A and B are shown apart, each in its own frame.
Chain A
Amino acid sequence: MLEKVSFLLLSFTLAEQLCKPGDPDGYKVRLSIKTALGENAYVWNDNEMFLFRATLAFAMTKQFDGQQFEVSDIIVCNQTARVSFWFVVTYPHNKTLVDKQVVERAVRKSRNRINSAFLLSDTTLEFIGIPPTLATPVNPSTPTWLIVFGVVMGAVCAGIIVVLVVSLVQRKRKKNETNEDTQVKTVENGAARDGVYYMSFSEDESSVTQM
């Protein structure tokens, strides 16, 4: 019993020594819960810290795919009222610190899962030193504007063609009408003239020209 207590005390102090603010192999984490969730914000307490350590252990295990990381391998220190703290990760068997780059890779791989465990995002759950992954801009396969442009231009060109054809047809029709009109007019004029002759010089009926 005494051995267990002394072992726990020893590991605790060892852990404290391992985790230091500014440690080259550690990361500072900063959470902005109230900014992200407003009224639905939860209070940061030991339970939440436990969840954090567990999530990080999950991320490390996923990265290594063989070694099983425990919650005790994630050591946290220097918690502030801001809700920020430092953490370091140790290997499960020999308690040596895991390299900074390895931790970064593990965090980046599971960043989404870590964020959603806390209902936060890349900007509200910050790992100082690990840049947030940028969302790729949405690029539709066919540029949308060409589709709209095609529709508009199609309508306008169809309109132009319709107007031109209609005016051409109208002009042809008018030309035909005026031709007929002049023919009819000359015929009528001829008849009128001959009618006058007919009325005044009745004996000249025979001289009326045939139509």
Chain B
Amino acid sequence: MRGVLPNPGLDHRIPNHEDLDRMEKEESGDRPKWDNKAQYILTCVGFCIGIGNVWRFPYLCQSHGGGAFLIPYLILLVLEGMPLLLLEFAIGQRLRKGSVGVWRAISPYLTGIGIASMLVSFLIGLYYNTLIAWIMWYLFNSFQDPLPWTQCPLSNNGTEFVPECQQSSTVEYYFYRVTLNSSASISDSGGIHWPIAVCLLGAWTVIAICYIRGIRTSGKAVYITSILPYIVLAIFLIRGLVLKGALSGIKFLYTPAVEELLKPSTWLDAGAQVFYALSIAWGGLISFSSYNPIHNNCMQDAVILSAVTGLTSVYAATVTYTIIGFMATDKYDHCISENIMTLLNVFDLPEESITIRNYEAVFSHLNSSYPDIVLGLNIKTCDMQKYLSEGVEGTGLAFIVFTEAITKMPGSPAWSVLFFIMLLCLGLSTLFGNIEGVVVPLKDLNVFPKKWPQEALTVTTCVVAFIISLLFAQHSGIYWVTLFDNFAGSIPLLTIGLFEMIAVVYIYGIDRFNADLEFMIGHKPSIFWQVLWRFISPLIILVILVFYLVGLAQEELTYLVWDLNSEEFPYLSLVSYPAWINAIIFLLAGVPTLAVPVYALCRLVFVCCKRKHVSRDK
């Protein structure tokens, strides 16, 4: 075999093709199975389609040239995402083990990849479930009219609103103060905010029951959690298109700015987004594929899943931008009306003498006739483009922009419930894959006693995770979530993906892999896949990783805080991280990444010592 590193004993560790056929016929073994193909596809779709599709992709699309961003996104989806996806599906289906088991079977030195996947899945699961807890809080609070984020509390003497609410807005106050009670910096812990702790308990309990028997229970849950978001998105699409200003949002989103394609940052962001969108290197996909029948057509599955992910991203972006267009138009109209009212009041003109249509003409007339008075009025300039492009990413999109948009629709509690149920389903279906990527490796590593049933494993993992995630229930919780989001889910995933490709192509052997695929699906993968696996995909990942690290090393580490006393309030102010954060970042990003080489090294040392010991005994 050319171009393959020596790997003795591989044939003893993995079942050969005859064994696989026999196992399939006898249906021996207590490994769980999918009830039908639809369950498997729905679970994978739910895993890949998460909250990030709603709040990260539309922002990237719009900030990197609108419709033009789709070009690098789709190209990299095919060149980078699909090969890795097929790789994970095929290796899981062939070796019939979870992520640790698969890499250990390929080579015991590579167990570190599985451990790294497990650590990354665990860290991501911790903060992802915190987002679910926040969504649950909003969901539970949506069952009242008026919605609680439409009103400000009164100050002590009852004559005006609390200053924090007065200066910002009701929705921001509700998110940062009522929901999170956020402190002003990450070092200022402030104790545990009990409503969030209670919601965290709820979130982990829901996950526990959905996954309590492994895929036997989660496989039933995905019928709802994977299909419901599409239905709700359709409802919101219809609702959104009818709103005033929706089309301006969609136009803004898809107006291509072709010069953006020449910037490398566009391609980098597209590549990174494809990587995270397909949930590669989490270990869950390998696990899910291992429950498939041996002759399942995984190539078809990989193509279908990539297509579904791409289409859903575009679909969700459209819906999101109808709402954003509506919000921006509303803000613009409000701004103009305020200016008109100011002018009417100061110059005592009759109402309806200034309308939105003749506002510009009248304003310039008044400005030329009475420039001093007009200057003293502080007329705000109303910029539609600014409203369309501000603060529309991440938690800000769901909990601030969307909640405000919902309050402006008639029947807001119903829309709010619908919206947050959709987000809940999106998050839960991703978490099923996540927890699969944690529990199954733990089982393979024999961390739990062998006698324990699946129920005990799930419950133990959820309890431990709940206790650790109380970190995010603190008053500084949101800053910890952002920290985890930036570091636990970026570098480690890229490096694990790179290691996975190298391991399968050069250690397991691409020829053996091709033979396996021929055995499983009936034909050898075409030259297209060969070139991608061997050269193009690893190269793309390496380039993204290098650029990412370089960018990280150059910039100072900062984060945004909600600080009542800062000058930029109500805008979030940029503050640098304290020095001890570097240790935390090393733990989050460094430990999973280094798990691969460190484990290999430790094992090498251990084997050498044992050999020396044995030869000495002889």
Contact = CB atoms under 8 A, between A and B. Distances in A.
Nearest to B417: A148
Contacts of A171: 453
Interface string B128-151: 000000001101110110100001
Contacts of A84: 345, 348
B202 A82 contact: no
Residue from B151, B153, B349 with most neighbouring chain A CB atoms (10 Å): B151
A156 B209 contact: yes
B161 A134 contact: yes
Interface in A80-126: 80-84
A152 B139 CA distance: 11
Interface string B568-611: 00000000000000000000000000000000000000000000
Interface string A44-73: 000000000000000000000000000000
A201 interface: no
Contacts of A147: 143
Interface string A127-159: 000010011111010001111110011001101
A164 B344 CA distance: 70
A82 B213 contact: no
B211 to A, nearest CB: 11
Residue from B161, B201, B202, B348 with most neighbouring chain A CB atoms (10 Å): B348
Nearest to B207: A156
Contact of B213 (A33, A136, A138, A167): A167
Contacts of A32: 341, 351
B349 A81 contact: yes
Given A82-B344, A167-B213, A34 B159 contact: no
Residue from B137, B140, B153, B341 with most neighbouring chain A CB atoms (10 Å): B140
A160 B209 contact: yes
B118 to A, nearest CB: 24
Interface string B202-233: 10011011001100010000000000000000
Contacts of B202: 149, 152-153, 156
A163 interface: yes
Given A35-B351, A134-B154, A148 B143 contact: yes
Nearest to B201: A153
Contacts of B151: 135, 137-138
A30 interface: yes
B352 interface: yes
Contacts of B264: none
Interface string B349-387: 111100000000000000000000000000000000000
B345 A30 contact: yes
A149 B140 contact: yes
A135 B208 CA distance: 43
Nearest to A41: B351
B158 interface: yes
Given A80-B348, A82-B345, A144 B143 contact: yes
Contacts of A152: 140, 202, 206
B455 A144 contact: no
Nearest to B140: A145
B454 to A, nearest CB: 9
Interface string B39-74: 000000000000000000000000000000000000
Contact of B140 (A136, A137, A144, A167): A144
B261 interface: no
Contacts of A137: 151-154
B27 interface: no
Given A144-B140, A152-B202, A82 B351 contact: yes
Contacts of A136: 154, 158
Given A144-B143, A156-B205, A164 B455 contact: yes
A34 B345 CA distance: 14
A153 B136 CA distance: 12
B198 interface: yes
A93 to B, nearest CB: 34
B144 A83 contact: no
Contacts of A33: 351
B390 interface: no
B193 to A, nearest CB: 14
Contacts of A82: 344-345, 348-351
Contact of A160 (B143, B153, B159, B205): B205
B160 interface: yes
A109 to B, nearest CB: 15
Residue from A34, A149, A163 with most neighbouring chain B CB atoms (10 Å): A149
Contacts of A35: 341, 351
A135 B139 CA distance: 25
Contacts of A145: 137, 140-141, 143, 195
Nearest to B153: A137
Interface in B435-472: 453, 455
B455 A163 contact: yes
A30 B151 CA distance: 26
Contacts of A80: 348
A165 to B, nearest CB: 11
Nearest to B144: A144
A80 B143 CA distance: 47
A144 B195 CA distance: 13
A81 B146 CA distance: 37
Contacts of B140: 144-146, 148-149, 152
A170 to B, nearest CB: 10
Nearest to A155: B209
Contacts of B153: 137
A149 B345 CA distance: 49
Given A144-B141, A156-B209, A34 B351 contact: yes
A16 to B, nearest CB: 19
A30 B349 CA distance: 12
Contact of A83 (B152, B158, B199, B350): B350
Nearest to A78: B348
B342 to A, nearest CB: 12
Interface in B322-356: 341, 344-345, 348-352
Given A149-B140, A164-B455, A167-B213, A157 B350 contact: no
Given A148-B140, A160-B209, A163-B209, 4 more contacts: A82-B348, A134-B160, A136-B154, A153-B205
* Ranked 5 nearest A-B pairs via Cβ: A145-B140, A80-B348, A137-B151, A81-B350, A148-B140
21 contacts: A32-B341, A32-B351, A82-B344, A84-B348, A134-B154, A134-B158, A134-B161, A137-B153, A138-B146, A144-B140, A144-B144, A145-B195, A147-B143, A148-B140, A148-B143, A149-B136, A153-B201, A156-B209, A163-B455, A167-B453, A167-B455
Interface of A: 30, 32-35, 80-84, 131, 134-138, 140, 144-149, 152-153, 156-157, 159-160, 163-164, 167, 171
